[in-house]
Structure 1
Amino acid sequence: MPPTTRSSGRSVTDAPNWATLLAHWRTGPGPLHTRLSAALRACIHAGNLGPGDALPAERTLADLLLVSRSTVVTAVETLEEEGWVTRRQGSGTHVAATAPRRAEVLTLRSPVPHPRSNAADRGALSASTVPAELDLTIAVPSLTEPQRQQLQAASADAFWDSLYYPLGLPELRARLAAQYTQSGLPTTPEQIIITNGAQQAISVIAQVFLRRGDVALLETPTYFGAIDVFRAAGATLLGVPVSPDGMQAEAFADALRSGSPRLAFLTPTFQNPTGTVLSAQTRERLAQQIMDTGLPTIEDDTLIDLGFIRPGGGTDRLPPRLSAYVPESSVINVGSLSKLYWAGLRVGWMRAPRPLLAQLAQAKTLADFGSSLPAQAIALNLLADLPGLRQARRAAVTPARDLLVRLLREHLPDWSFTVPAGGQFLWIELPTPHVTAFTLFAQSYGLRLFPGASMGVEPLPDTFLRIPFTLPTEHLPEAVRRLAQAWQAYRARGGAARLA
C-alpha cells in the first residue's frame, strides 16, 4: 500500500458504501428482484444516488447481496424500463440523467440506525435475556443500574442556572483545564470549549478550517465519524496507513509534502479501530512536524482513559499527549464522557491553543449558543471523581475484553487479531476478501456487524471486522456462538452464497 492515497468519489467497487445504501433492501414486499429495484429506486429518489452515478456490475452486486445474478439483472431491467437507469454494453449501468435531481445525501460510514425498544420493553427484560438481534456495530458502554443512581445523585443541583454559556459552564471548563494541566498539558479554563459530544467538536473544527476542495489528512483506517464530517465539508481525504505499531512519522511527513493538507485528524492513544498506541518518539516527531507546518491537527482523546488492567494490577503507562510536546502549537485536543461513562450525556470538549481560540469560539457560539446546562452540571459532578470513573470503566471493560478474546480463539480460531492494551474493540482479520458480504449474510443470524473497510479513507482490503466488547458480558457468549454459526454457514456456501 502506498504511503498516501487520495480518496475519490462514490466507487462501484466500494462494497461498504453499497452495503450501507442497501442494508435493509430485503425488508420490502414481493419477490427479491422487486425488493431490490424498490431499494435502488428509493436511493435515487432520496438523492443518495445522483444522475450519472454508476451502479456496480451485476455480478459484483449479486456477490455482495448474496443473491443470484438473475435477481440483480431483473431488478436493473425494471429500473431501466421505468427510466431510472441507463445500460450500455461496455460502460455499465448508470443513474439516468432524467432521474430526479435532489440535494446529495451523504452515505454515512456509520452503523445504520434501527428501531430501539421502548422503556416498557426494556424494563420487562431481565439482564440475562439475550435480544433477538445483537448489535456489534455500536461501541459505547451500556448504562448500568449503579450508574443510573449515580446520575440521579449528580443531577441534584443541575437545574438552578438559566444563563447562556456559549463556551461552556465556567466551573466545568476550570475542572477540565485542571485535569489537562495535571496530566502534563498546561491549560487555562479559557482554552476549554464545551461541546455536545466529541462529534460536535470535530464538526466545529472542520467548519473553521476546511473549505470545499481542501485536503484533510487522516489515518486509515480511522474513526468513521471524522470521515463523514470531512466528506460533508467537501474535503479531499488523504490517508496515512496505520501499521501494527501505529502511523509512521515518515508517512505523515510524506503526506504533508505531497498533499498540502489544511486539517489533520489523529488518534495517538488506542487508535480507533486498531487499538494501537504511538510511541513517545513518534509523537515527538509528529509534534515537531505539526509545529513546523502550523497544520491545525485534531488529537482525539476520547479513548485515552480506557487502558486495560494488567494481570498483576494497574495499567500501562501512556506516553504524553501529542499536544504536550507543543502546547501552544496548532494541536486541538478533543474529548468526551461518551466512552468513559455514558454516550447519552452528550458532553464533550476541545482544548485549543490560544492562537486558534477566537475562530473556534465563534463557530461554537453560532452553532447553538451553548450546550445543555443540566448535562454540564451532571458532568461537573461526575468528574469530581475522575479516578473513580476510570477505575469503574476499566474494571468493567477488561473482563469483557478477556472474555471476548477467549471465546473468539476457542470458536473462531482462523480469525486473527492482536489483543489491544486499551480501547473498546478488537480489529479482526478474517480469511476472506469479502467481509462486507459476510456482514450482510450474518444479519439472518441476528447479528449487526460493521465491516472494517468502512473505516478506510481510501478503499481498504475487505478483510477486517471491528467488534466491540461493550455488550453486556452475559450476551458475549451468544454473540460469538452466532458469529461462529454464521461463519461456518458462510464458508460452507463458498463465501458467496446464492440465496435466490
Structure 2
Amino acid sequence: MTTSVRGDQLARLLGRWHALPGRRRSPDYAALAAAVRGLLTDGRLALGVRLPAERELAEALAISRTTVSAAYRALRETGHLTSRRGAGSWTTLPHGHRVASSGLWAPDDDLDMIDLGVAASAAPVELVHAARAAADDLPRYLGSSGYHPIGLPELRAAVADGYTARGVPTSAEQILITSGTQQALDLVLRLSVPAGAPVLVETPTYPNALAALAARRARISTHGLDIDHGWDGEMLLGALRQTRPRMAYLIPEFHNPTGHLMPAELRERLVATAHSTGTELIVDEAFVDLPLDDPAMPPPVAVFDRHSRVTSIGGMSKPYWGGLRIGWVRASAPLVQRLAAIRVGVDMASPVLEQLVAVHLLRQSADIVAARRAQLRFRRDALVEALRDQLPEWRFRIPGGGVTLWAELDGPISSALSRAAEDVGVRLAPGPRFGLDGTLERFVRLPFTLAADDLTEAVRRLASVRHDLDHAARPTWRTPTVIA
C-alpha cells in the first residue's frame, strides 16, 4: 500500500529549503525541487511515498501553487516523481532504479571511493587463526541439531567473565548470544516496547537504533547532547521524570556519533531515576572496549542496578570485525529466557562456527584489543591533523575513545556536502541521519576506522568541494549510503 505525506509534514522535512547554499540565484521552483531531491538522496523521504497535492503543499509552505506545480514538473523531468491523473504524485528514482525488498541500497564496489559512512574496522590478523581453531572444535557440535537459541555455553561464560572483570558479577545464565548488537537491540524492543510506547533516546544517536524503534512504532522523545560536554544531567533526568518513558536507549561509552563518555555520577543518578519512573534502560556498550587516551573508565551502568532496570547490549563488531555477527544481551536470567523464546521465532540461533570463532578471539582479547586501540589512536590523530589543516572552520572535540568524530560544520550544509562529496569519491553520513526531524544539518560524523592515508585524502577531497558549495549546480540523484 502506498503511504503518503501531508503538506505540513513535508514542509517540516524541507525546513529552510529556500535558504540552502547555492540557492539564492535559483528560482523558487528549482530550489524546492532540489530540496525534495535532497530529502530522497539522504533517505529522509522514502520512495513510493505519495506527495501532498499542489495546493496543500503551497499552503503549508506559504508560496504560490504555480511554484509547487513547476517544482513537481521539474521532479518529473529528472525522474524523481511519477504522476498519474486522479492518483496523485509519488516519489521515484531516475532511470528505473528500484529499492530492494529490504529497503536498503548496498554501496557500489568502487575501489576509488573512500567510504566514511561505515564506522567499522577491517578484521584483525588473529581472525584467520581463530577461524581455523574453531573449525577444529566444530566436530564436537556436529552430532546435535546445531540450534542453541541462548548461545553456546562456552561463549556465554566468556562474555559473562568479561562483565565480571569490569565489576558487574555476571553468570552465563544472564547472557544471550545474538547475531550482532543490532539483533540484541531488536529482541529487547520486541519484548519490552509495544506499539505506541514512549521511548527516550539521545540526539544525535545511532541511525539503526532509530530504525528499530520506528519498526516498533515507538513514540520517541529525545535528549540533546552538547558537542562539547555531552549529556546535561539535569535535563536528561528531567526528561525521564516528565515523559516517564517505557524505555530509554543510551550509549554511555564513547557515544556514537559524538564520542562522549558518561560520568559515573550521572550513571548512578540515571539508574535511580529510571527506577522511580518505571523506565527500562537499554545500555549500548558497543564501544566500551575502545578507550584511546587511557581515561579513568567509569563503572558500567549495570553496577548501579538493584532492580533489574538495566539491560546491557554489546558485541564484537567494533573492537574485532563487523563481519563476525556476534552480539549479546546481559540481563536477569528470567529476562534472558524470555528473550530466547522470542529469538526462536526470529532466526533460531546464531551460527555455531561463528560463536566458536568468537570464543577463540575473546581468549586473545587483551592483545587484539590493545592493538586495535593503538591503530585507532593513530588514525584518529591523523584525521584531526587533516581537519585542522584543511578545514579549520569546522569545530570538533577530540573523542577519548570509540571510532567516530562528530564535527560541527561552518554552515547547515551536511546533506549538500554529502551529495557533493560523492562526485570526488567520498561517502559521508550526513548529520540528519542521526536525528529524527531533519535537523543536525550543521554536523557530520567522521569515523577514523580507515587507514590514515585514506582519511587524509578524504579530508582533502572534502575541502576541495566545501568551498564550491555556495556556487554548486543543481544536485543529481545519489545512492544513499549504508551507515553502520
Q: The TM-score by the shorter chain falls in which range?
A: 0.7 to 0.9
Q: What amino acid is aligned across from residue 247 of structure 1 in structure 2? A: W
Pick from 238, 260, 264 the counterpart of residue 221 of structure 2.
Answer: 238
Q: Does 1:83 align with 2:82?
A: no
Checking the alignment, whether the CA contact within 8 Å between 1:428 and 1:464 is kept in structure 2 is yes
Task: Read off the aligned partner of 2:357 and give its amino acid letter.
Answer: I
Q: What is the count of residue pairs matched by the alignment?
A: 428
Contact preservation (8 Å) 1:54, 1:94: no
Q: 2:261 aligns with which of 257, 261, 277?
A: 277
Q: Distance in 2 between matches of 1:40 and 1:347?
A: 34
Alpha-carbon distance, 1:152 to partner: 3.6
Listed as ranges, the matches of 1:158-169 within 5 Å are 158-160=137-139, 161-162=141-142, 163-169=146-152
Find the aligned partners of 1:326 and 1:237 in 2 and give their Cα distance.
Answer: 24
Match of 1:374 among 347, 353, 358: 353
Superposition deviation, residue 80 in structure 1: 7.1
Q: Which amino acid aligns with 1:350?
A: V
Match of 1:120?
A: none
> Partners of 1:113 and 1:378 in 2: how far apart?
26
Q: Does 1:452 find its partner at 2:424?
A: no
* 1:136 matches 2:116: yes
Whether 1:288 aligns to 2:262 is: no
Q: Distance in 2 between matches of 1:264 and 1:106?
A: 27
Match for 1:208 among 179, 191, 205?
191
Whether contact under 8 Å (1:36, 1:75) holds in the other structure is: no
**Closer/same/farther in 2, CA of residues 155 and 116 from structure 1, 3 Å limit:** farther
**Structure 2 Cα separation of the partners of residues 288 and 167 of structure 1:** 30
Match of 2:108 in 1: 115
Moved more, 323-332 or 210-219: 323-332
Residues 140-175 of structure 1: CA deviation (Å, up to 9, x unaligned): 00235x245334444342422133211000011011
Q: Secondary structure at the match of 1:265?
A: strand
Partners in 2 of 1:190 and 1:316 — Cα distance? 31
Are the counterparts in 2 of residues 245 and 277 from structure 1 also a CA contact under 8 Å? Answer: no
Classify 1:460/1:38 alpha carbon distance in 2 versus 1 (closer, same or farther; 3 Å): closer
Aligned counterparts of 1:274 and 1:458: Cα–Cα separation in 2? 18
Match in the other structure for 1:399: 378
Output the CA distance in 2 between the equivalents of 1:435 and 1:334: 30
Distance 1:284 1:11, change over 3 A: farther
* Separation of aligned partners in 1, 2:284 and 2:342: 19
Q: Calculate percent identity across the aligned residue pairs.
A: 34
Letter of the structure 2 residue corresponding to residue 230 of structure 1: L
Displacement of 1:10: 5.8
- SS state of the match for residue 216, structure 1? strand
Counterpart of 1:412 in structure 2: which amino acid?
L
What CA deviation, in whole Å up to 9, does each residue of 1:271-292 have, x standing for no partner? 1111111111111110111222
2:250–2:281 contact (8 Å) kept in structure 1: yes
Deviation of the 1:107 alpha carbon? 7.0
Q: Which amino acid aligns with 1:214?
A: A
Corresponding residue of 2:303: 324
Amino acid corresponding to residue 277 of structure 1 in structure 2: L
Q: Structure 1 pair 368/158, CA: closer, same or farther in 2 (3 Å)?
A: farther
Shifted more, 450-459 versus 407-416: the winner is 450-459
Aligned partner of 2:340 among 357, 361, 371: 361
Amino acid at match of 1:471: L
Q: Which residue pairs with 1:252 in the alignment?
A: 236
CA RMSD of aligned residues (A): 3.6
Structure 1 portions without partners, runs of 5+: 1-8, 19-33, 62-68, 87-92, 96-103, 118-130
TM-score, length basis structure 1: 0.77
Shift of 1:476: 1.9
TM-score, L = length of structure 2: 0.79
Identify the residue that residue 158 of structure 2 maps to in structure 1.
Answer: 175
